[in-house]
Amino acid sequence: MDYKSSLIQDGNPMENLEKQLICPICLEMFTKPVVILPCQHNLCRKCACDIFQAANPYWANRGGSVSMSGSRFRCPSCRHEVIMDRHGVYGLQRNLLVENIIDIYKQECCSRPLQKGNHPMCKEHEDEKINIYCLTCEVPTCSMCKVFGIHKACEVAPLQSVFQGQKTELSNCISMLVAGNDRVQTIITQLEDSCRVTEENSHQVKEELSRKFDMLYAILDEKKSELLQRVTREQEEKLSFHEALIQQYRQQLEKSSKLVETAIQSLDEPGGAVFLSGAKQLIRSIVEASKGCQLGKIEQGFENMDYFTLDLEHIADTLRAIDFETGEEEEEFIEEENQEEEESTEGKEEGHQ
């Protein structure tokens, strides 16, 4: 609503201002509170409630128990569809600028002098037109009041000049209010854009953070699998060696058991000639079997797996120290690099000298 241009184009600014303050529903001057729609048109809140209830008969008022977002109605001026949140019409923003202009208009109307026909007439001198303005008392008056009445000692000025001055001042005030409202709306838009950008940036940072931690998890899982495989291979090699030794010792035990059985049977032989014919070979076999007991053995501590111990404390400390980089840390890192480069350059120069 461009109040300033309307006032400038029309010869009677107060009349034109009144036209701008008419509600399109009740056709009366806006009744506070005044709400502004997203399409920038204004309505009395009561009128907005009436058309909203007509368009949404199942939506309860603020005292009801039904709370339903997404209800809608159309602006009576431009037919733009207005979508409500769960607060309904009470969620619409109040247009404080229009409410302030209504207050100014009403104050101006109340301060107008009584008129006779189309000409304002003096209250004290009913036949005298009001044609001057008392600068001392700041009220319009007539020439008789200046010559004989209560404004006799006051400073006065032509009514038209004061009227034009105050009309210009009021127009400037309205323009200032409109400009201030535009600035506030601009700030709101900027803040909303800033909120949106903040949300987008936060989402990107969270995704990047998750990606990096997933990469760390993958590295740890890969390293874990590799180390477990190494332990498993070592375990299988040692168990294979154990099983091979066990098999050898079992074979030796079986062979020795058979020799013992054969020797016992030979001892039971009563005939000397029969005994002596096999005793020599039997004794030789027993001696060789005794020598064969020198099979492979495992070293002391062969079953230990302590050499697969990991010291991860320093890595755990590093992981606990993970944090976001700050500007100060980056500056310190750059300063340290510059200092190292300067020291390296000085060392080379001294070497050449």
Rounded average pLDDT over 270-290: 76
Q: Give me 65's structure tokens.
A: 């128990």
Q: Which residue has the higher pLDDT, 251 or 217?
A: 217
Residue 116: predicted pLDDT: 43
Q: Which fold has domain 13-57+70-111?
A: Herpes Virus-1 (3.30.40)
- Cβ distance 29 to 120 under 8 Å? no
- Residue intervals of the chain classified under CATH 3.30.40.10 are 13-57+70-111
Residue 212: predicted pLDDT: 94
Q: Which has the minimum average pLDDT: 32-46, 67-81, 323-337? A: 323-337
Residue 56: predicted pLDDT: 72
pLDDT over 50 at 268, yes or no = yes
- 159-267 and 272-291 are packed helices; what angle lies between their axes, rounded to 10 degrees? 160
Predicted model pTM: 0.42
**Interatomic CA distance for residues 86 and 105, integer angstroms:** 35
Residue 210: predicted pLDDT: 96
With a CB cutoff of 8 Å and minimum separation 6, the contacts of 177 are: 97, 100, 101
| Beta strand segments in the chain, E | 34-36, 42-44, 72-74, 81-83, 115-116, 119-120, 132-134, 139-141, 156-158
Give 88-117 as a DSSP string. GGGGSPB-HHHHHHHHHHHHHHHTSPPEET
DSSP 8-state code for residue 23: -
With a CB cutoff of 8 Å and minimum separation 6, the contacts of 49 are: 61, 88, 89
Residue 35's pLDDT band, with cuts at 50, 70 and 90, is: confident
Residue 204: predicted pLDDT: 96
What pLDDT digit, counting tens, does each position of 312-339 carry? Answer: 899 999 999 999 887 665 566 667 767 7
pLDDT over 50 at 54, yes or no = yes
Residue 228: predicted pLDDT: 94
What pLDDT digit, counting tens, does each position of 78-131 carry? Answer: 888 888 887 778 888 888 888 888 888 888 776 655 444 466 788 887 777 788
Residue 117: predicted pLDDT: 46
What pLDDT digit, counting tens, does each position of 147-205 carry? Answer: 777 887 888 888 778 888 888 888 888 888 888 888 898 899 999 999 999 999 999 99
